[in-house]
A and B are shown apart, each in its own frame.
Chain A
Amino acid sequence: MSHIVFNEKRIDLKEGQTVLSALLDHGYRIPHSCCAGVCQTCMMQVLEGDVPASAQQGLKDTFKAQGYFLACSCTPETPMRITSIDVNTLRCVATVVDHQLFAEDVLHLRLKPELAFDYRAGQYITVWKDNTVGRNYSLASVAELDDCIELHIRRIPDGVISNWLHDEVRVGHQLTIQAATGNCFYLPGSPGQNMLLAGTGTGLAPLIGIARDALSQGHKGDIHLIHGGRQIDDLYLHETLVDMALTYRQFHYHANVLEAENVVPPISMNPLEQHITEVADDPADWRIYLCGDAPMVNTLKRKLFIAGASMGNIYTDPFVSANNVYDETA
């Protein structure tokens, strides 16, 4: 007979009892639905101890890497300390060390957190303006390579946070940020796999972080990054990416614009939907990262899946405005 520790309380498990069943028996209201390891509603996170393989069957590898498991399919043989994953409310203070424009509407913000700040390139953090209003921004930096965390902030018309970050926040100011989360990041393990990273606008922030992370972890397969914008000016890291492609043989940069007089490679005016399957014409074994505007991310995901990509190999960071807004006063 084993036990779990949840919210610092010890709960003994009956023979063959699942973690979900034990928690429910003790009156905890844990979200759950199918109780068959399928719907993933009851996903929790291990803090200490071994997760039985059956409790992670069918989970994305980036979920497994963070210790996520399904409580309904978990009958541990040894003790586990676990937590819910929806109550991650850790906040910390970070100082603005750099505040410059990449382009007219894209701010490059570098922050130095006061305390050690764990994250994986490609995850996102919440930046809080005050106790009730915050927005999610993806991380463009790589923890192992950069001493600061970097964000790309696009100015949104009437955007409370983006306009504040652009116009009022300055070097030396202190901001409140919240723990990194998200499952769109690089994992070593298949260094020869081809990678496709595609996104529009500031979807480039997580993509460049993931690309640099993969390169620094010794990824050998081809890494194709496609950045889409409305016009040439939207390709705000064009020079940097051209340089990266010259530096790393396995890194390839492509760009897309909708409006231009004439373009030369690596810029193309083919629709992004078409461009992705030209670059990845047989995506069955590719690892794919899609970031940016949510409808665009969903369109590309569907297109690549139908073309043969496996769902388990597609990682997305859709910028959803509704989910991107925290306004607890509303």
Chain B
Amino acid sequence: MSSLYDRIGGQSAVDTAVEVFYRKVLADDRINEFFDGVDMEQQINKQKGFLTMAFGGPNYYTDKDMREGHRHLVARGLSDSHVDAVIELLGETLQELGVAAEDIQSVADIANSVRDDVLNR
């Protein structure tokens, strides 16, 4: 059986999904304030890294990166509800791209697995 990453479509799926996903994030009033003032080009590259990991592809983030990368956001109030919103938008993105429901659940599980690191708990 092929891997989750391969089933979703690998690198090219990441390239397709990243703009759809990031557009949803920036348009969502629950979370978009955390992206005010960030460099969009750099951010979209980070989003690619995140999607690659969540799709079950190569992960080059360490737990430490996850913690340090989000510490300033936790200080600004980043909480479970925001992580929930991100995972919801990720699911919507994949649904639009025609990914199967069980694969979307697997992606959500991987994203959930870094929740505590992201929230610095």
Contacts and interface: CB of A to CB of B under 8 A. Distances in A.
Contact residues on A (Cβ < 8 Å of other chain), bracket: 10 to 19
A14 B41 CA distance: 33
B96 to A, nearest CB: 14
A47 interface: no
B60 A36 contact: yes
Contacts of B40: 298, 301-302, 305, 311
B105 to A, nearest CB: 25
21 contacts: A34-B60, A36-B52, A36-B58, A36-B60, A38-B45, A38-B48, A38-B49, A39-B49, A57-B11, A58-B15, A58-B48, A298-B37, A301-B40, A302-B40, A305-B23, A306-B26, A308-B23, A310-B19, A311-B19, A311-B22, A311-B44
A57 B11 CA distance: 10
Interface string B7-43: 0000100010001001100110000000001001100
A140 B2 CA distance: 53
Nearest to B25: A306
Interface string A4-44: 00000000000000000000000000000011101110000
Contact residues on B (Cβ < 8 Å of other chain), bracket: 10 to 19
B57 to A, nearest CB: 9
Contacts, number: 39
A311 B42 CA distance: 11
Interface of A: 34-36, 38-40, 57-58, 298, 301-302, 305-306, 308, 310-311
Interface in B67-96: none
Given A35-B60, A39-B49, A301-B40, 17 more contacts: A36-B49, A36-B60, A38-B48, A38-B60, A39-B45, A40-B45, A58-B15, A58-B48, A302-B26, A302-B40, A305-B23, A305-B26, A306-B23, A306-B27, A308-B23, A311-B19, A311-B44
Contacts of A306: 23, 26-27
Nearest to A310: B19
Interface of B: 11, 15, 19, 22-23, 26-27, 37, 40-41, 44-46, 48-49, 52, 58, 60
A20 to B, nearest CB: 14
A161 B50 CA distance: 43
B44 A38 contact: no
A132 to B, nearest CB: 28
B73 to A, nearest CB: 18
Contacts of A40: 45
Contacts of A302: 26, 40
Contacts of B23: 305-306, 308
A302 B23 CA distance: 9
B13 to A, nearest CB: 13
Nearest to A314: B40
Contacts of A298: 37, 40
A302 B25 CA distance: 11
A310 B19 CA distance: 7
B79 to A, nearest CB: 24
Contacts of A301: 40
